[in-house]
Amino acid sequence: MVFGQVVIGPPGSGKTTYCVGMQQYLEALGRKVAVVNLDPANENYTYPVAADIHDLIDLDAAAAHCELGPNGALVYCFEYLEANLDWLVEKLAALSDCYVLIDMPGQVELYTHHPSVRNVLQALTGSLHNHRLCAVHLVDAHHCADAAKFISVLLVTLSTMVQLEMPQINLLSKVDLIEAYGELDFNLDFYTDVQDPSRLLPFIEQQDGAFARRHAKLNEAVCELIDDFGLVHFGTLDIGSRESVGQVLRSADRAIGYIGGAGEDVRERGVHSLDYEGDESGAVQERYMRETDLSELLSPGAGGAADS
């Protein structure tokens, strides 16, 4: 049995960077850690791999042999992995004394529609193998600056949680760059707590005009669906911050029931590993976001942002 994290998220969300940073943090705690690459399209990873899907199947060869495009080839590779799961089972069996980070592909359809990733993970965490894994789902924090993109992110996140049916931690990654593409319409806790996402709808209409009005009922239905499920919440991640990485690790450890191992510096872990409780989003906002001008929030057309 292994304990570990399955790192998922759209392309560019920082999965490989997360694996490198988390690996370094775990090693500083004294944990023996191993990284497994299950992304057939990832050929530029900078971490040492304990197992690599390239040893099982080659993405370009699969695309050429089956006459598939990039997305179809990725799907084929995971179908092949599912059919040859013994390869991964043997690799993980050799890592039973390690805390494992599994770097996954970024293709969204693998987590929202196609069953192969779910089948592979459920087989690993089922009673036969009983590996203790949680999904760490990364979303680029700059999507918070665009109301339409953030609602899309919420829908993808919810679909992933429902599809995978495993413990899942959702993170706004690169939070240190959260306002790189514009100021947020609400305070950060609105985006982490995800309460009443319909409050974003007026901002979509401001941004997209006629297109938003044509799809107003669809946007309303999506927001209502997300709100009704009440499952989507986000933590924040700055991979360059020891405290931020520690917060994520503590949440992951709680999700999989990991309580520490031999040689681990528990004092270090206690200092830097905090639960996502209290005013975590407020501290992050104070550190990374520009101070809000209340006169702007109270101006006509602010759409209720002053309530955030």
pLDDT tens readout for residues 118-156: 999 999 999 999 999 999 999 999 999 999 999 999 999
Which tens digits make up the pLDDT trace of 77-114? 999 999 999 999 999 999 999 999 999 999 999 999 99
267, pLDDT greater than 60: no
CA 172, 258, 90 angle in degrees (round to 5)? 95
Of 99 and 179, the one with more pLDDT = 99
Q: Which domains does the chain have, with CATH numbers?
A: 3-287 (3.40.50.300)
Residues above pLDDT 90, as percent of the chain:
75
Which three-class secondary structure state does DSSP give residue 2?
A: coil
Kindly state the DSSP code that residue 306 receives in the 8-state scheme: G
CB-count burial class (<10 Å; 0-12, 13-18, 19+) for 132: middle
Q: Which residue has the tokens 């004394």?
A: 97
pLDDT at 210: 80
Nearest 5 degrees, angle CA 71-CA 76-CA 77? 100
Q: What is the pLDDT of residue 308?
A: 39
* Poorest-pLDDT segment among 15-29, 239-253, 287-301: 287-301
pLDDT of residue 299: 43
212 pLDDT above the threshold of 70: yes
How many Å apart are CA 116 and CA 170, to the nearest integer? Answer: 21
DSSP string covering 41-68, please? T-----SPEEEEGGGT--HHHHHHHHT-
Q: Provide the CB-side half-sphere exposure for 212 (13 A, CA).
A: 15
Instruction: Report the predicted TM-score, pTM, of the whole model to 2 decimal places.
Output: 0.87
